[in-house]
């Protein structure tokens, strides 16, 4: 990332990068949520989905390709400000850590700046994730749909429990996003630093951006996956299922399924992580270069 770019440019470019992320990665996100939240089979019953491919195949058969993009309106509406705020927080975090403009940040300082950005995004991320997950777990076909769309879902949640219901899972979202964002930005900067020599041409820099962005996405989810599983279950459960929040979700999950359940849905996450986040950082870098060209003093 350009060290000369202001937090404002990070904000605008991050928003564009976020839109690129959703368009590239939402189908696998839908598969992830459905695997994470499917009910446990009773003795003698088969599981609703046998795995990533089975879930993908059944979704296409019942709902068509549109089923893979179910709930996309929520993240697409919120993603521009979410990624804008995330990249802004990272840019601001770097600025706060630096004692002078020419200081090169250590990997730990880059992690801290990235983690700082994770705090910024929760106010938008938590309700968007809640609505997205509820829409994604709705089955297609002839099954009656509880929610007709993003706005209807938000309206019903507000009627059920006010803003508290809409923001259900906020703590889980923070516990996921703060360490995951630290790994995300630190990994991107580190991999790009390793791949880009001093005399690199534009093509080499673009390849490095794609690889570094993809690696950043994988590192982000390796750290954030356990909290994401707990968040998905908490946010999609009927009111009153988990009175003590994340603690109850974690306790029940450990008792019934064991520690491996914390990485349930990891296959579609990792399939999605590389291309979605490569698209994000390519979009970000292109937007930064464009802004540096049209508004060098911004």
Question: pLDDT tens digit string along 207-222?
Answer: 999 999 999 999 999 9
Which pLDDT does position 35 carry in this prediction? 87
Q: What is the pLDDT of residues 9-51, one digit of tens each?
A: 888 899 899 889 888 888 888 888 888 888 888 888 888 888 8
Q: What is the pLDDT of residue 267?
A: 85
User: Predicted confidence band at 52 (pLDDT cuts at 50, 70, 90)?
Assistant: confident
Residues 57, 100: Cα–Cα separation, whole Å:
54
Spatial separation of the C-alpha atoms in residues 49 and 222, rounded to whole Å = 23
Contacts of 169 (CB under 8 A, 6+ apart): 126, 129, 130, 231, 234, 235
> Which carries the bigger pLDDT value, residue 240 or residue 262?
262
If one compares 270 and 6, the residue with the highest pLDDT of the two is: 270
Per-residue pLDDT reduced to its tens digit, 90-132: 989 998 998 887 888 999 999 999 999 998 888 778 888 899 8
CA end-to-end distance (rounded Å), the chain: 16
CB atoms inside a 10 Å sphere around CB 246: 17
Which candidate, 76, 88, 93, places its Cα nearest to that of 288? 88
Query: The pTM is what?
Result: 0.78
The DSSP secondary-structure symbol of 243 reads T
Task: Report the alpha-carbon distance of residue 196 to residue 290 in Å, rounded.
Answer: 20
pLDDT attached to residue 157: 92
């Amino acid at each position: 990332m350009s060290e000369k770019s202001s937090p404002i440019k990070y904000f605008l470019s991050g928003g564009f990068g976020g839109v690129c992320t959703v368009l590239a990665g939402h189908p696998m996100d839908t598969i992830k949520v459905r695997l994470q939240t499917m009910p446990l089979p009773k003795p003698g019953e088969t599981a609703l989905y046998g795995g990533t491919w089975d879930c993908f195949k059944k979704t296409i058969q019942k709902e068509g390709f549109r089923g893979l993009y179910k709930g996309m309106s929520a993240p697409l509406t919120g993603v521009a400000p979410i990624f804008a705020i995330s990249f802004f927080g990272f840019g601001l975090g770097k600025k706060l850590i630096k004692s002078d403009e020419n200081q090169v940040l250590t990997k730990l300082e880059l992690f801290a700046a990235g983690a700082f950005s994770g705090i910024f995004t929760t106010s938008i991320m938590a309700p968007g994730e809640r609505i997205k997950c509820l829409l994604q777990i709705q089955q297609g076909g002839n099954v009656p749909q509880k929610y007709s769309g993003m706005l209807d879902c938000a309206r019903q949640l507000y009627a059920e429990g006010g803003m508290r219901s809409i923001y259900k899972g906020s703590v889980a979202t923070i516990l996921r996003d703060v360490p995951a964002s630290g790994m995300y930005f630190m990994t991107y900067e580190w991999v790009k630093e390793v791949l880009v020599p001093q005399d690199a041409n534009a093509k080499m820099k673009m390849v490095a951006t794609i690889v570094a962005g993809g690696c950043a996405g994988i590192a982000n989810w390796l750290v954030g996956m356990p909290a994401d599983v707990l968040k998905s279950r908490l946010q999609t459960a009927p009111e009153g299922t988990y009175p003590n929040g994340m603690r109850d979700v974690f306790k029940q999950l450990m008792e019934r399924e064991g520690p491996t359940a914390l990485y349930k849905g990891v296959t579609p996450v990792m399939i999605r992580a590389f291309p979605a986040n490569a698209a994000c950082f390519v979009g970000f870098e292109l937007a930064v270069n464009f802004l540096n060209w049209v508004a060098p003093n911004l």
